[in-house]
Amino acid sequence: MTDDEITDLLFIREEPARADLAMVFGAAREDESARRTRRGVQLYQEGLVPKLLVTGGGMLAMTNPEALRMADLARQLGVFEMDLLVEPRSSTTFANVHLSLALLREVGLADGISTVILISSEWHMRRVLLTAKSAFPVGWRFVCCPPVEGCTRENWTTSEEYRQEVHQELVLLKTFQEAGLI
């Protein structure tokens, strides 16, 4: 595939819209989790979402899950405790979605949701979107709003680190599609 074809396939960035919830996916790298969290808080502070759900346990789930670090940052940036949902057990995108849906059902919010803003890295958004569509209830609408910093459609080809990250994501996406998971 050409770089342009990879960009068109993986990278999704949509204009924010009013939603019932912003779901922020954790990342293995602390700086990336922080970027994603700041994006969610920005949309919350702009009044586009009344609730923020942070999700991710990551590789350090036993000691310091991503979601707990993300929740701490969200609180520091002004998100009220009553508007914050935390799912700290998941360690994959699939688990993020499934455990977050279970949490939404547990707290009685799932039935009232029609639109969710998905927040992850722009290169990860295609897999996040397909996973959400495969697991969340039919009829839910998704809006992909990644942070505008980090690895983006504009700069991924300029860094060997970004190129490797994007090519790994391409392999994962194809693997999951071929397995019928998304």
pLDDT in tens, 121-151: 999 999 999 999 999 999 999 999 999 999 9
pLDDT band with cut points at 50, 70 and 90 for residue 15? very high
The CA distance from 167 to 173, in Å, is 10
Q: Is residue 169 part of a domain?
A: no
Q: Is residue 163 part of a domain?
A: no
pLDDT attached to residue 109: 96
Domain that holds residue 112: 13-151
The residues pairing with 54 across neighbouring beta strands, listed in sequence order, are 24, 86
Q: Is residue 177 part of a domain?
A: no
Taking the model in full, what pTM does it have? 0.94
pLDDT band with cut points at 50, 70 and 90 for residue 61? very low
pLDDT attached to residue 28: 85
The CA distance from 36 to 67, in Å, is 11
